[in-house]
Structure 1
Amino acid sequence: MARLDGKIALITGATGGIGAETADLFAREGARLVLADTDDVALKDLAARLESAGAEVLPIRLDVSSGEDWAAAAEAVRARFGVLHVLVTLAGVVDWPGIEDTTEDGWDRVIAVNQTGTWLALRAVMPLLRASGNGSVITTSSVLGLVGSGAAAAYQASKGAVRLLAKTAAVEYATRGVRVNSVHPGVVATPMIQEILDEQGDQQPDVVRTPMRRAASPREIAPAYLYLASDESSYVTGAELVVDGGLTAH
């Protein structure tokens, strides 16, 4: 316990499946939390639950695709804590069509949230992370940022970009007190894909391609973020932590 004792951690997409599990795990490990999301009701409920368990929580309504929202969020963190140790970018959206069926609006929405939103996050809070002298950024890519699936063109493009953005940031800040890594989940039973999993079960194509033949629970993904947020990963930067049940192993 207390692997994050004394650390301030900002989590975007905090009310989602992986986000809520990560927030809960970070709180149990001693972090003070800045929870960001666009779902006001879910955000309030999550903050209240964690506070009732003894955590210190600053909830912030944040559209990650908005530079103005990010500037306000960074100022709120600065005013409350003065510093930031951990940034976890979990906010994301998906669009399933392939190349010819993807619309411009669909493409723009996915890129704005997944790709541009990650860059805006880094730009906004990097000064606070550098001020800590021991910062850790964990971006969320996907196995679909590593291999092709023949579908979800915008999503895959955005997640591939997040992967390389993490690597270039890792090089840029390697001697400036901030580590930057990416997590690449496989099939995870979250609200984003739960309807598909309910319909297709273990015959869902990505589940079939996964050697473990099942989807992960968000609780199985959150520890990856904990490791990269903690000082146990002090020599890890520019890395890809794949948590996919073996999907990319073949």
Structure 2
Amino acid sequence: MLTGSTIVYQCPKCGQLVLGQSILSVNDIKAKYYSDGRMEGPYFCEQNSITECPACSKVFWLDPKNQVDEFHEDYDRGDPQIANHYHSLGDWAPRLDIQGWRRAISEKVFGNLKEELFLQKSLLWELNKYFLKHCEWESSEQLKLWEDTIQDLLLIIQPQRPQEYLLKAELQRNLGQFEQALESLDKITDQDYLAKAYQLHQRILAQDRWVFRFQVPSWLWFLDSE
């Protein structure tokens, strides 16, 4: 993973400054891949793109509209006085947790379908991470939130590419819609996705609804950043 400049953002509500780390490149060495489309690895980190203001709790995007400056932490490339100045005014922008993603969705901070899909998928990932860690749901309310999030995703997903059909099949499997999930898998013919499709197919036949880790060599997966 290669990082770039530190970006300074300003809360559009109260003016509080927060910092974000730009990421120039990542790689999938020793990465793990999950059936919900999430990837994690020692050399991979998704750039934080939305946060909750630590001063007023406003949820806002870390985008050019809210950017006020940027600087380099590396003293060979940047000015240490500028770096020290901004670090004295603001902390690193926190990543949203489950409640934060719920707030972003309920407050409709998205401006288009792509942003809404990103928020819903991010909420699903956080819920699935909890399940993978604890092998159970915290409560019946959390399980219902998981199912509601999946239903909302199915309403907005418009699959065209193989990875999108794979996600649709996963969501249908999660809801116990096993026949529909098999139909979605039938749309996948790309060789790069057949290993994952096969493992998902086996879970469907077993009527297993839960997220799992793909057992696929990294050379069979390419990182899709879109």
Structure-1-length-normalised TM-score: 0.29
Greater helix share, 1 or 2?
A: 1
From the CA coordinates, give the structure whose radius of gyration is larger.
2
